[in-house]
């Protein structure tokens, strides 16, 4: 493998760049811009048991250094993902892909993971535990270590492929949640998901988003994401995928120095559909600039700095 290659839970990636779920669809939407096989992999659209329309419009709001979204997990449901979306994806992407699983109960997480685990093209399951627990008063699974561990154990029991738990930055103690997931059998951790925010229309004095609040992403959250990746990567012994405001090659290097094995790119794909390709193209020169021979060598490089 080359100087950009990394190993994520036993699967080799040509490079550590991964478009984040919700910003890359099922991949085929981007083939008119570039050959997506240049990617390490990508995390496809968040998938639930049943089809979801999502939240009411408007559900996107621009910000000076990022964006707010309140899409609400719009997707066609797991059965249609398997029967229609993945076959379309396979026509243009020839590497293992990362599923993204969402749910509003442990039973739903289990159902979706068990179904997706039968798909040969899927290499990893990224389990989004930022969803509200409908049987637990609406609290996010990812804000409580015990609930996070329960989800992890449940999905591990029905899958053979690596489970990567995607954590919410809104947890009071994200390290405790990450360690609980690791102890429950998680094969990896990804973080951070979006940060809760809002905007107000000054003319009509109403929130811009129909749902009032939404997830804030983009360059403004990079330092927060970096801090959390650093804290979690130092505390666990499983791979970490870092994300949050990544938009250029230097950001990838910084995330990896903070302990990330691979790096997801989210909002940047919405701003520029070529964002991930540009980052991959720029990485060799960035490594040369910082006198790095092999990108694997820098993972956790800041731990003793």
Active site members: 131
DSSP label at residue 170: T
Q: Under a CB-based contact definition with an 8 Å cutoff, are residues 164 and 125 in contact?
A: yes
Two tokens, residue 138: 């609406």
Name residues whose C-beta falls within 8 Å of residue 224's C-beta, 6 or more positions apart in sequence: 169, 192, 195, 244
For the chain, what is the largest distance between any 2 Cα atoms, rounded to a whole number of angstroms? Answer: 56
Per-state percent for the chain, helix, strand, coil, to nearest 5: 35, 20, 45
Query: Measured between alpha carbons, how far is 96 from 79 in angstroms, rounded to an integer?
Result: 19
Peptide bond into 58 cis (omega under 30): yes
Query: Measured between alpha carbons, how far is 296 from 3 in angstroms, rounded to an integer?
Result: 8
Q: Under a CB-based contact definition with an 8 Å cutoff, are residues 40 and 48 in contact?
A: no
- 3-class DSSP state for residue 268? helix
Two tokens, residue 117: 């685990």
């Amino acid at each position: 493998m080359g100087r950009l290659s990394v190993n994520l839970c036993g699967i080799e990636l040509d490079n550590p760049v991964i478009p984040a779920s919700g910003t890359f669809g099922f991949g085929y939407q981007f083939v008119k811009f570039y050959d997506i096989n240049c990617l390490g992999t990508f995390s496809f659209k968040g998938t639930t048991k049943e089809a979801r329309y999502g939240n009411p419009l408007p559900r996107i709001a621009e910000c000076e250094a990022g964006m707010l979204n309140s899409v609400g997990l719009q997707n066609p449901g797991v059965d249609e993902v398997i029967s229609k979306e993945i076959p379309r994806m396979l026509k243009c992407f020839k590497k293992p892909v990362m599923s993204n699983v969402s749910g509003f109960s442990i039973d739903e997480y289990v159902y979706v993971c068990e179904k997706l685990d039968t798909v040969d093209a899927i290499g990893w399951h990224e389990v989004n535990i930022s969803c509200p627990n409908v049987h637990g008063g609406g609290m996010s699974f990812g804000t409580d270590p015990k609930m996070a561990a329960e989800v992890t154990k449940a999905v591990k029991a029905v899958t053979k492929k690596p489970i990567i738990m995607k954590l919410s930055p809104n947890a009071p103690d994200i390290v405790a949640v990450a360690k609980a997931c690791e102890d429950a059998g998680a094969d990896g951790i990804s973080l951070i998901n979006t940060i809760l925010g809002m905007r107000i229309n000054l003319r009509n004095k109403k929130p811009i988003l129909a749902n009032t609040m939404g997830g804030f992403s983009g360059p403004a959250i990079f330092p927060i994401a970096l801090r959390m990746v650093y804290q979690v990567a130092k505390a666990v012994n499983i791979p970490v995928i870092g994300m949050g405001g990544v938009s250029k090659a230097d950001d990838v290097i910084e995330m990896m120095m903070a302990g990330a094995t691979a790096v997801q790119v989210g909002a940047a794909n919405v701003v520029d559909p070529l964002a991930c390709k540009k980052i991959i193209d720029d990485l060799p020169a960035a490594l040369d600039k910082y006198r790095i021979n092999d990108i694997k060598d820098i993972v956790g490089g800041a731990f003793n700095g």
